Structure 1
Amino acid sequence: MFDIVPELTAWRAQGTRFALATVVDVAGSAPRLPGAALAVSADGEAVGSISGGCVEGAVYELCSEALESGTPVLQRFGYSDEDAFAVGLTCGGIIDVFVHPEPDVDAAVAALAARTPVAVARVVAGPDHRLGATLVHHGGAAPSTGSLGGTPAFETAVRAEVAAMLDSGRGGMLTYGPDGRLCAAGPDTATVFVEAYTPPPRMIVFGAIDFAAAVVKVGKFLGYEVVVCDAREVFATRRRFPDADEVVVDWPHRYLDSIEVDGRTVLCVLTHDAKFDIPLLERALRLPVAYVGAMGSRRTHETRLEKLRALGLTEAELSRLRSPIGLDLGARTPEETAVAVAAEIIAHRRGGSGAPLSVTEGPIHHDGKGSIQSVIRTSPDHHAA
């Protein structure tokens, strides 16, 4: 659904009735993944795609019928070569499509417009009276809206699982019994399809230098929306940073004052020029962002700290600064330095120690957010990147 939100928003604003068809499950070689959607309005207009053309016609008819009957339907489409006139997928896969007449998408659309995380859970199989029941879960402390029409145990279990899925940015199918336990599909179960939308976290790279180009590339590889900002117009150009989502010509601190940041935002300060860095870091270290790293030598770092203390920053605020930026990989080239920066960001986000796995014990994968401050400060051989 999320890929056709602009069209759905326009229809809702115009009061246009529509039915929404969503791929909720796939098997084998399918042309579109779960979440792909096709919507058909009451006046016959169609937007979106669920199969690249293989079954669009049949799904269009299902949407039209659902608008007339008001009844949701779950339909399976599979391989069609055995019957040349059958509707199916020529690729040999199988897709399950849920058609929902007049779905309530207002809460989800509003969240998307505000770039806030949201998950939409719908009952797609089970008791007829519950088909299409919808729960919208918002990230953070915002309350959920809607209900899936089940027992309290069922509702509690689904809400917890949907919250976890939104946190990881993944969707999928869940089948529950009345007691709220995950189980195989049966006569008393309800199957819920969850679509999760988490806007990409933002990485802002301050300083349009050669190292910045490499950091931009690794930031995009990690899934960040990357912005490059520099006050020097001659350096901050699209030609020099083709991989960036946006290139901004402005004083770094002024640009930071003009945008919204959140707990996933990463700030990489690469200018190592006091007239840019100090006013920028004064603001950055007081913001609720995930990471603030600054490039420069140890002497530069100590000078920065003195100037920031003079501006009134506390030791707790200064302790958030990752400087010299990056883990100790012995990096020299811009590309190697970018890997060192990325490694530090990942370790800070996931709670890793930054030590070689060969000399550590315990879990390899970390899900909790932690800090590597103690590891960096107690390593006598640590140097910039």
Structure 2
Amino acid sequence: MLNYLQLSSIANNYEAKVYPVFMLAIVGEFLLRLKTVSYMRTSETIFNLISGLLLILIRSLMLKLFSTCCQWLNTNYVLVNLTESTAQSSLIGYYSMIICTFIMVDFLFYWCHRAGHEINVFWATHQFHHSGEDYNLSVASRTLATEANYVLLAFATVWLSVLIPGPTLIHVLEFIIVYQFTLHTSLWKSYGWLDLVMIAPGDHSVHHGSNEYCLDRNYGSVLSVWDRWFGTYVRERPDEPVVYGLVHKPPVTYDFTRQSVYYFGLIYEKFSTNYPGQPTSLSNKWHSLFNKPSWSMPYIDNNNIDQVDMDDKIKQHNFEFNKLYNLNYRMHWYMYLYITVHLLMISMDIFMVLNGRESMNIKLIMVKYLWTYLFLTSIGAILDNKTYAPIIELARLLIYYYYPMNNYYQLSIEQIYN
């Protein structure tokens, strides 16, 4: 059996290793789109990139927890010792195990992702990813690490470790997660004949659409066969361009915290509201939590629900500073330069930690998360043109460079290289 140290060394955090390359790819796409009608909005791209840093920090901790659970289950409740049996077989047997693992995990991803869309309380954690109104590589970073569909996937997949070695599960999971990055672009939409079995960027762009024919479609991660078998697959219509974003109106802000949690307030409102002349029903409360996000009480007039007018949204969807985000001012170039420099500094800091000896240091990772969260909060206030933004940014700089906990941070960095 593999001990924990062996497992930790094998279960590399590929997402953290790939993310620097992914950031360069985002910059490349940004430059390619500069002189096109579909250019990437600088503010939203920056917001998405910093959100991605928070994502990989928390996922590194989740990977540690997942590895530990796999080790424990594989040690105490293993049903078939595939580690030994595959070592005695040919390479064909070994790769057959990997292929079977991939098919099982990809199948679980489909259903967990579908649950993240079709169960309202789960959608509350996933809507943040869909709230971006552009579709480019940076949107893949616009993800909460605590999304219900990924938490469900980890919980469902970890039980496979009674049959499959933990490192194999982690390799497959990391491959599927990294593959998601490549789907969030409109620079290319098809893989040719491979589209018959694989999800292509064009298929996933439909998944991000708010058009009626796009809703609750194309849940697959790598394989498209699950969508085809279960009736959720649809191709992009050439006569109806995909309009990205949410059906309901999100907060008009770059406030990360508000964007992340506001939907829970909508659920609570639906859960707790008692309408005059109508019975209070436990069934209604149940449906407000676990039915589809589109569900409403039978006696509510859906026409009064605050939703985005699709005709108006299509007119706005010209990749300008549209009304939905209310970006009526443009920052000076030196402000973008300032933000970019600090983003690079924090990114390099995080990558050194996650890819160094301290990658399993929980305290250090949490310190990095708090610094990055404060950075995103400050940048969000700047992008929103809030009057208090300079105060928050000054406080961030003082905390980052002078707070006593930074001594621990400096010590940990020295340990990486010693």
* TM-score, structure 1 normalization: 0.24
* TM-score, structure 2 normalization: 0.22
Greater strand share, structure number: 1
> Relative contact order (alpha carbons < 8 A, sep ≥ 6): 1 or 2 greater?
2
